[in-house]
Structure formats: structure tokens, C-alpha cells
Amino acid sequence: MEMTKPVASFDPHVIERPLSTVDVVIFSVIDERLHVLLVLRPETMDEPFKGMRALPGGFVDVQKDLDLESCARRKLQEKTGVKSPYLEQVGSWGGIKRDPRGWSATHVYFSLIPAPESPSDGTPNSDVKWFPIANQRVGTKLAFDHAKLLEAAIQRLRNKVEYTSLPAYLLPEEFTLTDLQHMYEVVLERPIEKSAFRTRVFAANLVEPIDKVRAGANRPAQLYRLTQPKAIVYFPRTFSPRKI
């Protein structure tokens, strides 16, 4: 009865188990635009959505993965090499119709990472590739219900950026206030008032100045780092009270 898999041997009413997957929406800001990392579905015969673009992800491996988050971290590391990015769960989606192979549930995470060194990671048709996001969507058709999952992740990101310090995770450790403001503007797709932005950032004690400046053909900019790199900061108001 159980050879390699004692799957259903514990429960008396041997119930059928849904498929369990994890998908990761990896965001980065490249060239003034929000981008998401997509992979190619394998061309193998028995794989659904052959050759289409999809979110990085796959089945939970009950041998390798201690829990869902480490499963997400594993997939993220495999695709980007980034060691400790910002990672947050968006939610889970499950149902009979989302995967032709049967009832499946996916656990969706989103991650923010600084812009990668090589803009498009080498060859344009490689396995993983950055795609720009234009009004809540990406320019390619996605496998499964991944368009819906992506949209939910974008929504979550936009909402949360209004009142948190999340965009700081889109930057390297050291950044100027203008850099930071720029991340907010790119994600929110709207300009933010400089003076109010700075007041707010300082009031929240979000950043602390370091002993460096960034030079240019102008007045050098003070460099900052996060006061508490691990803790995400919540602002008491959104950036645009009037519009909500």
C-alpha cells in the first residue's frame, strides 16, 4: 500500500488531496519602471501551459521544505540568488479549475529586491526574465491564473506602499532620500511632494544618515540607511488622503 509515499495512509476516510504549490511574485524597479520576474514553463510533454510565461513557483516539496515560507525562499533563491529579500505572503488561491491536473491550491508570496546588476539578466529569451508592469498588468499572457495572482500582488504592494516603508527594500542598503522618494513615485505612479515626504520619513525615524554623501554635478546628497532594516514602518496616514 505505501511504497514510497504513505500519503493517504493516516486518515481513515482516505480523502483525495489537492495539489499544493507556492508561487512568488518578485518585484524590482528597473529603469524607472516596476518589473516582475517571470519564468518559462517547461516544454515537457505532460506539463500544462507549455512554453508560456509564469510566476516562479512549483510544488511544495515535503522532503525539502520545512514550511511554506522556506519553500518560497528556496524558489526565490533559485531564480535570483538574492539571499534575504523582503518576503510577504499575499494569500492563497485554490479551486478545481485553476490547474488542468486537478484541484490545486497555491500559496502566493511577493518579494521586493534591489535592481539587479545586469538589467535583463543576459539573453533576452532566457528562462527567467524581467517584465515591466503597465497599469496592473504585464504585457504577456500568463499560465494558470497567474495574471490574477500578479494583479493581487500588485494591488497589495500599491496599497501597502501608501502607508509603509516597503519601497526601501527596492533599494540597496545605502540610498539618498531622493532615491527613496523615487521608489514611492514609481510604484504609486504619481509624484509626491518632496518636503512632506522628508518630514514624514524623519518623523517615523525610518532612516539614519551615514557618514557618506553621493557626489554629482551638483550639491552632494546625504546617504542614509534604514534605522531598523528588519522592521517595516507604518505611517499614520496614507500619502494621499484626499484621493481615497
Interface positions with DNA (CB under 7 A) = 176-178, 192-196, 198-200, 203, 213, 215-222, 235-237, 239-242
Work out what residue 93 binds among a copy of itself, DNA, none; the CB cut-off runs from 5 to 8 Å by kind.
a copy of itself
Q: Min. distance of Cβ 98 from a copy of itself in angstroms?
A: 8
Cα angle at 28 between 80 and 78, to 5 degrees?
A: 10
Instruction: Rule CB under 8 A: say whether 203 interacts with a copy of itself.
Output: no
Mapped onto helix, strand or coil, the DSSP state of residue 241 is helix
Q: Min. distance of Cβ 19 from a copy of itself in angstroms?
A: 6
Footprint on residues 24-53 left by a copy of itself (CB under 8 A):
46
User: Distance (Å, rounded) from C-alpha 223 to C-alpha 214?
Assistant: 7
- Closest by CA to 34, choosing from 138, 141, 147, is 138
Work out what residue 196 binds among a copy of itself, DNA, none; the CB cut-off runs from 5 to 8 Å by kind.
DNA
Axis-axis angle for helices 177-188, 146-161 (nearest 10): 130
| C-beta of 24 vs 206, nearer to DNA | 206
Instruction: Give the CA distances from residue 196 to residues 6, 51, 139, 179, in Å, rounded to whole numbers and listed in that order.
Output: 60, 47, 34, 15
- Closest by CA to 109, choosing from 129, 131, 86, is 86
Q: Which residues bind a copy of itself (CB under 8 A)?
A: 4-8, 10-12, 14-20, 46, 59-63, 65-68, 89, 91-97, 101-103, 105, 107, 234, 236-238, 241-242, 244
